[in-house]
Structure 1
Amino acid sequence: VVSYYHYERTTVLEPEPGDWNSYFQRFTEGNSMCSSYIQVKKQTHSQIHYMFYEDLIEVILMILDWKSTNSATFLVSVNYSSIRTMHFKISQFMRKGTVGDWKNHFTVAQNEEFDEDYKKKMKDPSLQFCTEI
């Protein structure tokens, strides 16, 4: 949800999503551009190979034999000029890449609400998410 929020802040395809709390509410009610992600995941997850950022970080750290994610520094070069629908002066969609950064956005109540909503909508999903390393 946090990634969708930052994405919607940068795109010119949709109006400004507002502050985090109002965006979270619209998202959980199904009223944001990216709200339908649960339906898409339910319908297509068996046909798509999902790679999670957290898994990639774990693999890279294992390969490099680093003991802590705090010591890892990743340099990313991105050519923004080819993405014409994004306003990078408003918000950089390519963010810091910190595992668990969603905790800096969600309140405890929002996290509980989202988890409950996700469980209800997914009903025994085989697709499991990693949110921490």
Structure 2
Amino acid sequence: MNQLHPDPGSWEEYLERFIQGNVGFGPWGAHVRDWWNLKEQKNILYVFYEDMLEDPSREIQRVVRFLGKDFSEEVVDRICQHTSFKAMKKNPLTNYTAISSTIMDHSISPFMRKGICGDWKNHFTVAQSERLDEYYRREISGTELTFRF
């Protein structure tokens, strides 16, 4: 749907290109490791989507503290409402429907789909899942970075 990227081909073809690192931003592992390692040199806060789904208020409060701010509970609640997946999916400024279809073609797929974790299980075969698991272990080895699955 993002017309600025090359055609992804079939799911099988895209997965192969992903594992080979032939996608936007290059190899996933190097991209993630490089940014993760910057936390030692730069003032970076990492926020994980699964944590946002689990407790949006807690994660927004982490961001607020990271920024050196102190918001009231009411303000944090309003931020939670406006940044919920449901609200953002309806908002043309966050769902990209305000952008020309020559750039983001929503007739192919909406930019914001379901907002859930684990939907990959509905798309990967067992063999693909095992292959990606091996890729993940290889790419993240040697770091303390862990993702929730």
Give TM-score scaled by structure 1 length: 0.71
Output the aligned Cα RMSD: 2.4
What are structure 1's unaligned runs of at least 5 residues?
Answer: 1-9, 63-72
Task: Name the residue aligned to 1:57.
Answer: 53
**Which is greater in Rg?**
2
Answer yes or no: is 1:75 the counterpart of 2:71: no
Aligned partners of 1:82 and 1:52: how far apart in 2?
A: 27
Deviation at residue 15 of structure 1 after TM alignment: 2.2
Paired residue type of 1:50: Y
Task: Name the residue aligned to 2:27.
Answer: 36
Deviation at residue 18 of structure 1 after TM alignment: 1.6
Deviation at residue 124 of structure 1 after TM alignment: 2.3
Taking the TM superposition and a 5 Å limit, the aligned residue runs for 1:99-114 are 99-114=117-132
Paired residue type of 2:48: F
Aligned partners of 2:128 and 2:36: how far apart in 1?
A: 25
SS at match of 1:75: helix
Aligned partners of 1:107 and 1:12: how far apart in 2?
A: 27
Deviation at residue 33 of structure 1 after TM alignment: 2.1
Aligned residues: percent identity?
40
What are structure 2's unaligned runs of at least 5 residues?
Answer: 59-83
Deviation at residue 113 of structure 1 after TM alignment: 0.8
Aligned partners of 1:115 and 1:35: how far apart in 2?
A: 19
Task: Name the residue aligned to 1:118.
Answer: 136
> Does the 8 Å contact 2:33/2:140 carry over to 1?
yes
Answer yes or no: is 1:20 the counterpart of 2:38: no
Aligned partners of 2:85 and 2:22: how far apart in 1?
A: 35
Paired residue type of 1:129: F
- Which has the higher mean CA deviation after the structures are superposed, 22-31 or 78-87? 78-87
Cα distance 1:116–1:91, how it changes in 2: closer, same or farther (>3 A)? same
> How many residue pairs are counted as aligned between the two chains?
112
> Does the 8 Å contact 1:27/1:34 carry over to 2?
no
Give TM-score scaled by structure 2 length: 0.64
